[in-house]
């Protein structure tokens, strides 16, 4: 069962039922806050792992680029040239993919981490500030009522009693205002979760999907090279077998 809706009219009655609903909304707010913290933490883990993987891939590509096939003779055949240059070609494909990964990683802070942190601070943080004010006004209103009820009319003149009435009325209005602001903020957070929060996660998914799609595009370019190289390797293998027969 989902959360019970908070109505502004409930702020005026401040019933136990209203307080129960309010407590459930506060639990959900805290759960969302912890969830976002976890997402940010694990998101950073993902990007840090991607950085390390990219670093290792580039080191691997560098090794491939620097290694040279030594062929016999001064005049190399077209096949031998292609084979000797194959490792450099592999390295270039790897570096091309890692360039795309770097774009993904470099955008991660602005497109994922900061937006999530800002959502938590600006929305959930604001709701918590409204709760502090609500709790403060609740305490002040209850105290003003308690003081008023503890007064003994027989021992207090009309001016003091009127002043106490005015004070209770003032605290009641302040309490109602704080209560409605708090309920409004809780409603705003729930609504913003439906679009702003989801938009951030959609951006995260699209960034990775775009990266993988770019890898697929690069793979298509590589496949033509892969086919030609495999044909050449098969030819060289057959020539080697024929020599040793």
Contact (CB, 8 A) for 147 and 165:
no
Question: Residue 62, SS3?
Answer: helix
Contact (CB, 8 A) for 43 and 112:
yes
pLDDT at 230 (0 to 100): 85
| Cβ-proximal residues to 94 (8 Å cutoff; 6+ apart), any chain | 57, 58, 60, 61, 64
The Cα–Cα gap between 104 and 214 comes to: 11
User: Is residue 188 a part of any domain in this protein?
Assistant: yes
User: Is residue 139 a part of any domain in this protein?
Assistant: yes
Q: In the predicted model, is pLDDT for residue 83 greater than 80?
A: no
The CA-atom distances, in angstroms, between 44 and each of 55, 93, 111 are 16, 27, 12
30 band by pLDDT with thresholds 50, 70 and 90: very high
User: Is residue 177 a part of any domain in this protein?
Assistant: yes
Average pLDDT estimate for 170-184: 95
Average pLDDT estimate for 103-118: 93
The Cα–Cα gap between 22 and 29 comes to: 10
User: Is residue 26 a part of any domain in this protein?
Assistant: no
**Residues 176, 25, 169: CA angle, nearest 5 degrees:** 10
The Cα–Cα gap between 94 and 104 comes to: 15
Which has the closest alpha carbon to 11: 173, 228, 222? 173
User: Is residue 27 a part of any domain in this protein?
Assistant: no
pLDDT at 159 (0 to 100): 77
Taking residue 34's Cβ as centre, other Cβ atoms within 10 Å add up to 11
The Cα–Cα gap between 212 and 206 comes to: 10
pLDDT at 228 (0 to 100): 81
Q: How many residues does the chain have?
A: 245
Q: In the predicted model, is pLDDT for residue 245 greater than 70?
A: no
pLDDT at 1 (0 to 100): 62
pLDDT at 163 (0 to 100): 84
User: Is residue 8 a part of any domain in this protein?
Assistant: no
Which ranges in the chain belong to alpha helices (H)? 8-13, 16-66, 78-84, 86-108, 114-119, 125-149, 158-192, 198-243
pLDDT at 175 (0 to 100): 95
Q: What is the pTM of this model?
A: 0.81
Average pLDDT estimate for 61-77: 78
Domain range holding 42?
36-243
CATH number of the domain at 96, please. Answer: 1.20.1270.60
Average pLDDT estimate for 163-167: 85
Question: Residue 25, SS3?
Answer: helix
The Cα–Cα gap between 36 and 238 comes to: 60
Average pLDDT estimate for 109-134: 94
Write the pLDDT tens digit of every residue in 188-215: 999 999 999 999 999 999 999 999 999 9
User: Is residue 23 a part of any domain in this protein?
Assistant: no
229 band by pLDDT with thresholds 50, 70 and 90: confident
Q: In the predicted model, is pLDDT for residue 73 greater than 70?
A: no
**How many percent of the chain have pLDDT more than 90?**
64
The CA-atom distances, in angstroms, between 114 and each of 36, 107, 128 are 11, 10, 20
Minimum mean pLDDT among 25-39, 122-136, 147-161, 219-233: which range?
A: 147-161
pLDDT at 155 (0 to 100): 66
User: Is residue 152 a part of any domain in this protein?
Assistant: yes
Burial group, residue 27, by CB count within 10 angstroms (0-12, 13-18, 19+) = exposed
pLDDT at 244 (0 to 100): 59
Minimum mean pLDDT among 20-29, 51-60, 84-93, 156-165: which range?
A: 156-165
How many domains are contained in the chain?
Answer: 1
pLDDT at 220 (0 to 100): 84
- DSSP category for residue 109: I
153 band by pLDDT with thresholds 50, 70 and 90: low
């Amino acid at each position: 069962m989902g959360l019970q809706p908070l109505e502004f009219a409930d702020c005026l009655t401040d019933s136990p039922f209203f307080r129960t609903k309010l407590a459930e909304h506060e639990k959900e707010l805290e759960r969302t806050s912890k969830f976002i913290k976890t997402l940010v933490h694990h998101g950073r883990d993902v990007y840090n792992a991607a950085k390390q993987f990219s670093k290792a891939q580039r080191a691997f590509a560098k090794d491939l680029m620097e290694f040279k096939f030594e062929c016999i003779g001064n005049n190399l055949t077209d096949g031998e040239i292609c084979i000797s240059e194959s490792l450099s070609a592999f390295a270039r494909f790897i570096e091309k993919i890692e360039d795309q990964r770097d774009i993904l990683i470099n955008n991660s802070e602005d497109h994922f981490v900061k937006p999530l942190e800002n959502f938590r601070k600006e929305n959930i943080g604001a709701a918590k500030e409204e709760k502090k004010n609500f709790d403060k006004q609740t305490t002040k209103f209850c105290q003003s009522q308690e003081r008023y009820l503890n007064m003994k009319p027989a021992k207090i003149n009309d001016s003091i009693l009127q002043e106490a009435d005015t004070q209770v009325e003032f605290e009641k209005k302040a309490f109602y205002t704080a209560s409605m602001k708090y309920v409004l903020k809780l409603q705003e957070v729930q609504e913003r979760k439906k679009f702003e929060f989801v938009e951030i996660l959609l951006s995260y998914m699209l960034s990775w999907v775009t990266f993988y799609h770019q890898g697929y595009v690069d793979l298509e370019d590589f496949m033509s090279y892969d086919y030609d190289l495999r044909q050449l390797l098969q030819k060289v293998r057959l020539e080697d077998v024929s020599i040793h027969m």
